[in-house]
Amino acid sequence: MNNAVAGFSKLSKNEKINWIANTYFSTPEEALKIIRNYWNSDHKLQQLHDEFIENTITNLYIPLGVAPNFLINGTYKTIPMAIEESSVVAAASKAAKFWATRGGFKATVMNTEKIGQVHFTFNGEAEKLQLFFDQIKPKFFSDTQSITKNMQQRGGGILDIQLRDKRNLLDNYFQLHATFETKDSMGANFINSCLEQFATTLKEEAQNSDLFAQNETLQVVMSILSNYVPNCVVRAEVSCPVEDLTEKHITNPQEFAERFVQAVQIAEVEPFRAVTHNKGIMNGVDAVILATGNDFRAVEAGIHAYASRNGQYSSLSHAKIENGIFTFWLEIPLALGTVGGLTSLHPLVKLCLEVLQKPSARELMEVVAVAGLAQNFAALRSLTTNGIQAGHMKMHLNNIINQFEATEEERHLIKTHFKTNAISHSAVVEFIENLRK
């Protein structure tokens, strides 16, 4: 079957949908019904969503929830979270409630430097290139003045530009390594615009320079920001006396604290565990980033690179017991924005930022890091006490019930039964089948 299509992007939205329905479905009417059910009834709002990306056919909804009672640096916050995974919001909320009575979360932005690079090749002498760079470096700043003017007025701009010799990695490979401060914007467009001007200046100045011989050529390969921002880092932590860890599932706080620290240490040395451990952190991080209109793919890539910065993939969080005090913390790189992009376009993103009391980019970094730490604490508390599946499957029960389109009466009977019986997918299916016999 040949499903190729010519000129798809030029088709109208309805033509695209009809092509999808007629090409891939035996009952096109059913496909069309599902697609249109997820359109927004507000035409202008739907058009706004249609124009976020190309070839839009409908909307894919992800639940937006909130986790209240987060005490962060002495102030209570309600954190919006967009995520489809069962128990994440519930776990974050439980961790928030737990730590609110034990001093809350402390969060500190350690630095906010962002990075961009111009990658180029040069087949001449490195000493000549360095001399050339030193001569023209001021021109990189002057040639980008029109781009940086507004950012400078907000206290940001280009921090520095360095020439880096990377010939140990690839033949003739050099780069301009530039650092930036972008204040409350994530800064991708700003950084990339600066970099492209750097590249233009570099090429033009090299062509006109009398430092290089005719056979010494400089060629720009590409100019692009980096999503690895090891100098744009935020720290979040919680701590309390070990004896204060006592609660319903923690009757021996010393034993719990020691086992908790061991669990973190395992993630620090064992990559197979570290990946799942950090995935739990990202449950919290990504949910807040998505709710606030930021780029979770960029954050994911940068954070996982950071987790490997010492040569082996390792835990992003750490824990210790010292002088009777339990401390749990993480440090993660986060390049976020609260102005520009979706933050000023998507109505729900704007609503979420309102719920967070219109945070600056630095404040949003703190909130995101805290959400990640809370999620990690909740997971490790479950893993080291009564196990993770009991709570997770309890939350997952609704998904199974919905999958089988249970009636209200069936739903009541199922939930009543599984209040006192172990939940598993097969057990729920068997119970439903027996009900329906």
Instruction: State mean pLDDT over 338-347.
Output: 90
Q: What pLDDT is stored for residue 390 in this prediction?
A: 57
Which has more pLDDT, 256 or 341? 256
Which pLDDT tens digit goes with each residue over 177-201?
A: 999 999 999 999 999 999 999 999 9
Banded pLDDT at 387 (limits 50, 70, 90): low
The predicted model gives 205-226 an average pLDDT of 96
What average pLDDT does range 417-428 have in this prediction?
Answer: 79
Q: Which domain holds residue 194?
A: 114-226
* pLDDT > 80? residue 397: no
Strand-by-strand arrangement of the 157-165 sheet = 157-165, 173-181, 114-122, 218-226
Are 280 and 377 contained in the same domain?
A: yes
The confidence band for 433, taking pLDDT boundaries of 50, 70 and 90, is confident
Residue that terminates a domain, selected from 169, 203, 226: 226
Residues 250 and 373 in one domain: yes
Same domain, 244 and 349: yes
- Where do we find the tokens 């690179």? 305
34 inside domain: yes
> The domain that contains 138 carries what CATH number?
3.30.70.420
Same domain, 90 and 196: no
Residue 58 belongs to some domain of the structure: no
Per-residue pLDDT tens for 225-247? Answer: 999 999 999 999 999 999 999 99
Q: Are 280 and 293 in contact (CB under 8 A)?
A: no
Q: Do residue 98 and residue 120 come from a single domain?
A: no
Are 18 and 124 part of one and the same domain? no
405 as an active site residue: the answer is no
Same domain, 271 and 169: no
Kindly state the DSSP code that residue 172 receives in the 8-state scheme.
T
Instruction: Mention every residue, 6+ apart, whose C-beta is less than 8 A from residue 308.
Output: 314
- The reported pLDDT for the residue numbered 213 is 92
Other CB atoms within 10 Å distance of the CB of residue 407: 11
Mean pLDDT, all residues of the chain? 94
User: 391 pLDDT band (50/70/90 cuts)?
Assistant: low
Give the span between the Cα atoms of 378 and 280, in whole angstroms. Answer: 9
Q: Are residues 241 and 99 in the same domain?
A: yes
Within-domain flag for 2: no
Q: Is residue 30 part of a domain?
A: yes
Q: Which of 33, 30, 42, 35 is nearest to 13 (CA)?
A: 35
**CATH code of the domain containing 325:** 3.90.770.10
Looking at the structure, tell me whether residues 264 and 338 fall in a common domain: yes
**Partner residues linked to 220 by β-bridges:** 120
Do 155 and 21 belong together in one domain?
no
**Given 128, 279, 350, 415, which residue is catalytic?**
279
How many domains does the chain fold into? Answer: 4
In a domain, 57, yes or no: no
Is 85 an active-site residue?
yes
The active-site residue out of 77, 94, 183, 392 is 392
On whether residue 3 sits in a domain, the answer given is no
Q: How far apart are CA 91 and CA 396, in angstroms?
A: 13
pLDDT at 317 (0 to 100):
98
Is 279 a catalytic site residue?
Answer: yes
Residue 71: which pLDDT band, with cuts at 50, 70 and 90? Answer: very high
Interval 280-327: pLDDT, tens: 999 999 999 999 999 999 999 999 999 999 999 999 999 999 999 999
Predicted pLDDT of residue 76? 98
Q: Which of 192, 226, 260 is the last residue of a domain?
A: 226
Catalytic residue among 237, 295, 363, 366: 295
The H or E element containing residue 94 is: helix 88-100
Average pLDDT of 202-210? 96
pLDDT of 249 reads 82
103 and 118 in one domain? no
179 in a domain, yes or no? yes
**336: nearest Cα among 234, 416, 262:** 234
Query: Does the pLDDT of residue 420 top 80, yes or no?
Result: no
Q: Which of 50, 85, 244, 268 is catalytic?
A: 85
Q: Are residues 212 and 261 in the same domain?
A: no
97 part of the active site: no
* 114-122 and 233-241 strand pairing: unpaired
pLDDT of residue 393: 63
Summarised one tens digit per residue, pLDDT across range 142-174 is 999 999 999 999 999 999 999 999 999 999 999
Rounded distance, CA 185 to CA 204, Å?
30
**Tens digit of pLDDT for each residue in 18-64?**
999 999 999 999 999 999 999 999 999 999 999 999 999 999 999 99
55 domain-assigned: no
